[in-house]
Each structure stands twice: as structure tokens, then as C-alpha cells.
Amino acid sequence: MRVLITAAATTPTRAVSFSEELLDRCQALADTPRVNPLMPRYESYGICRSVHGDYLIFSRLQPEQIEVNHIL
């Protein structure tokens, strides 16, 4: 599936590069899967939090993968 960054984006080039940075950060979770802290109140679900700039990446470590559940 294709993603189109429209002219409505203030800086479409930056939108693309930021998306790539965010994807890279998500992929980097595999390098140190246990380094990110568990979220208070969500420990029983195994939800961890990592930071990318002003953004929070919520993920869960599974036996053979890391699920990225939400980016805020």
C-alpha cells in the first residue's frame, strides 16, 4: 500500500523524514528489548514506553517479536 503526503502538510519532506525516523526508532526496539520501563498501571499487560523526541512509543515484548501498540 502506498502512503501519500499531501500538500496540506506544512513541510511534506520533513513529514517523510520524520516518519522514517520514527520507523527506525521502532525497529531499534529489537536491539535492546528489555531496556524500556514498564508503564505504571499497565505492568500486567507488559506495556513498555520508549521516547522519540516529544513522542512516546508504547510496545509489548512478545516471545518472538515486539508489538508497537501506539505512538503518542
Produce one character per residue of 5-22: b if its CB has 16 or more CB atoms within 10 Å, e if not: eeeeeeeeeeeeeeeeeb
CA atoms within 13 A on the CB side of 68: 15
Where is pLDDT greater, at 64 or 2? 64
Least Cα distance to 47 among 25, 68, 24, 23 occurs for: 68
State what percent of residues in the chain have pLDDT above 70. 90
pLDDT (tens digit per residue) in 48-61: 999 999 999 999 98
For the chain, the structural domain boundaries read 33-72
CA atoms within 13 A on the CB side of 28: 12
As given in the structure block, the three cell numbers for residue 43 are 505492568
pLDDT (tens digit per residue) in 22-56: 999 999 999 988 899 999 999 999 999 999 999 99
Q: Which of 6-10, 14-18, 57-61, 67-71 shows the lowest mean pLDDT across its residues? A: 6-10
